[in-house]
Amino acid sequence: MNDTSTKHVFLKDENACLGLAEAVTKLLQIGDILYLEGPLGSGKTTFVKALVRALNGDVTHVQSPTYTLMHSYEADMPIIHIDAYRLKHAHDLDALGFNELQESAISCIEWPSKVGINNDAHSWFLKFSHVSEHERNVEITAPATVNFEWAA
Ligand SMILES: Nc1ncnc2c1ncn2[C@@H]1O[C@H](COP(=O)(O)OP(=O)(O)O)[C@@H](O)[C@H]1O
Ligand SMILES: [Mg+2]
């Protein structure tokens, strides 16, 4: 990650989080992995929900998969959702069958540092932080080939 390709996005409320997801979905390619970082309650799962909504999927069952570890959602592009908080090694992802599944889906990984981060042409980095009850900052780094613009 270098500073020139990292955008700072301010979300004034949850609706802006949906706006960000809509902007991102237009640029996603099958096989992309979104690494979602930031403390508890900063909006990682809310962003995944927004992504599923932006891709016309059913958001009823979108929640942090803390106990089941991995969820998948049907949408315009299949979405895989992982919460790695309880995982320790990259091979824990193998055990879930993630490596085969991710090639034909969009993957969202919460707490990615627990399982190791791949920085390649499919990697997106979103780092969430609290500003106030409803306000969040997001540092977003898109793959080098993607020209991500944000107009709030
Ligand atoms: N601008 C915002 N963006 C995202 N979530 C927000 C925002 N404002 C308030 N929230 C609330 O903050 C909480 C974020 O929780 P969650 O997405 O589960 O966080 P995490 O997965 O990072 O632990 C939710 O209750 C959500 O409704
Ligand atoms: Mg979560």
- What is the distance between the alpha carbons of residues 58 and 6, in angstroms, rounded to a whole number? 30
Residue 141, pLDDT above cutoff 70 = yes
pLDDT band for position 4 (50/70/90)? low
Mean per-residue pLDDT, 50-74: 88
In the 8-state DSSP scheme, what is residue 111? S
Kindly list the domain boundaries of the chain, sorted by start residue: 3-139
Taking the model in full, what pTM does it have?
Answer: 0.95
Mean per-residue pLDDT, 77-94: 90
> What is the predicted pLDDT for the residue at 123?
96
What is 3-139's CATH topology? Rossmann fold (3.40.50)
- pLDDT, mean over the chain: 92
Q: Which residues pair with 106 in a beta bridge?
A: 79
* Distance between Cα 54 and ligand 2 center (Å): 18
> What is the predicted pLDDT for the residue at 134?
98
> What is the predicted pLDDT for the residue at 66?
67
* CA distances (Å), origin 35, targets 117, 128, 132, 133: 8, 11, 23, 23
Closest by Cα among 32, 21, 22 to 146: 32
Atom of ligand 1 nearest to the CA of 38: 22
pLDDT band for position 65 (50/70/90)? low
List, as ranges, residues with CB under 5 A of the ion ligand 2.
Answer: 44-45, 64, 110
